[in-house]
Structure 1
Amino acid sequence: MDELSARFADPVALSGSLVALEPLGAGHVEGLRRVVAEGELHRTWYTRVPAPQDVAAEVERRLALHARGAMAPWALRRLDTGEVCGATTFMNLDAANRRLEIGSTFLARSAQGTGVNAEAKLLLLARAFEELGCAAVELRTHWHNHQSRAAIARLGAKQDGVLRNHVLWHDGSYRDTVVFSILDGEWPAVRSGLRGRLAAR
């Protein structure tokens, strides 16, 4: 693996005033089990959130992808309570073309609407554009996940299109994947928007 590819796959610690992003490890499993159990996030049919009993396997899967240089996985920790409140990744890493996707994200119900997600995205996007020199960052979601689509649009991402019948889903249906992206030239405005949202809390 070349140096740039290794940097893309490196989940360096990131921290703001509301949330810290920690390199994912086995020590986060119990906290993440509580996250998915709260509000039974795994029961939402259009997401791929692991059930509590599957969290350890999902952490192992992410760590295996990281070991192959294919993913940078983090756990999210609220700074007001000290509790683990979610997980996220850089995935579909394409260092040669300076592209990656922020995805495989889930957040505790109690952390939603608190500014944690906005600050986490600010930290991740700053790393992608300012430290890794990305030309574009993608965010993808299920067509039926209207909450996620609205949240991505609020970031300032633009919808590129919809990949029809893109992924065979766990219930036998096909997922239509909505693809959004932020380009490097759009990052200053997106950054200002996120900072403004956080300051207005």
Structure 2
Amino acid sequence: MTAKLPSSVVLTGRHIRLEPLERRHLADLWTAVGSDPEVWRWTMSLPPGTEEECGAILDERIAESAAGESVNFAVVDLAGGRAVGVTGYHDYSERDESVEIGGTWYARSVWRTAVNTEAKLLLLSHAFEDLGMGRVFWKTDARNERSRAAVLRLGARYEGTLRRHRLRPDGSWRDSVYFSMLADEWPAAKARLTERLSRG
């Protein structure tokens, strides 16, 4: 199967829906996340001080999607019908059958719930089963222990660390830790994620 590049789609599970990120999601996201320093701590954006500053961050993501540089989703909680986070596909290659899942942040109210597990299940299923990708990867700030642990729980493997990789908004340098999952590792990982969701 030849890999296909990701595009704007709607992916729906039992708990959440991933839908193309739009400006209309701003009010929900600002209400859910606001300038919570823990949510923004490991992103490459400074915490927004106002709803319009948050809107500017969304506008960057929306522009990237429009330019074909990434595919960004609003994560919508089906029970409440409101957006509670953002995630997406980045740095993808049809030739290399590779895609990054990243740019993810959620309201603190949905941390340690089914939201992230199902979002990753939907994104990984689409990447491997619909797009035909051979490798999905993640990169996290080396200091972000919570994110590193979450990626490992998905069944991804540590690949290495790029030192002094990116300049953080505060002027310090970030080391980036890379993880990946290959297509032949996906069936076992899918079974574990599905089981985790069924347990609530």
Flag whether TM exceeds 0.5 (same fold). yes
Query: Superposed, which structure 2 residues align to 1:43-122 within 5 Å?
Result: 44=41, 46-48=42-44, 50-51=47-48, 53=50, 54-122=53-121
Farther off after superposition, 32-41 or 60-69: 32-41
Match of residue 28, structure 1, among 25, 30, 33: 25
Instruction: Report the CA distance between 1:20 and its aligned residue.
Output: 0.5
- What residue is the counterpart of 1:163 in the other structure? 162
> What amino acid is aligned across from residue 10 of structure 1 in structure 2?
S
- SS of the equivalent of 1:56 reads helix
- SS of the equivalent of 1:178 reads strand
Instruction: Report the CA distance between 1:43 and its aligned residue.
Output: 5.1
Instruction: Report the CA distance between 1:9 and its aligned residue.
Output: 3.9
Instruction: Report the CA distance between 1:64 and its aligned residue.
Output: 1.3
> What amino acid is aligned across from residue 35 of structure 1 in structure 2?
A
Unaligned stretches of 5+ in structure 1? Answer: none
In structure 2, relative to structure 1, the CA distance for the partners of 1:42 and 1:190 (3 Å cut) is closer
Instruction: Report the CA distance between 1:61 and its aligned residue.
Output: 1.0
Unaligned stretches of 5+ in structure 2? Answer: none
Distance 1:62 1:106 in 2: 13
Aligned length: 196
Distance 1:41 1:56 in 2: 19
Extract structure 1 runs of 4+ deviating beyond 4 A: none
In structure 2, relative to structure 1, the CA distance for the partners of 1:27 and 1:43 (3 Å cut) is closer
Distance 1:181 1:99 in 2: 10
> Does structure 2 conserve the Cα–Cα contact (< 8 Å) formed by 1:42 and 1:51?
no
- What residue is the counterpart of 2:147 in the other structure? 148
Farther off after superposition, 98-107 or 76-85: 76-85
- What residue is the counterpart of 1:125 in the other structure? 124
Alignment TM-score, normalising by the size of structure 1: 0.91
Q: Which has the higher helix share?
A: 1
> Does structure 1 conserve the Cα–Cα contact (< 8 Å) formed by 2:70 and 2:90?
yes
Distance 1:185 1:173 in 2: 38
Percent of matched pairs sharing the same residue? 39
Alignment TM-score, normalising by the size of structure 2: 0.92
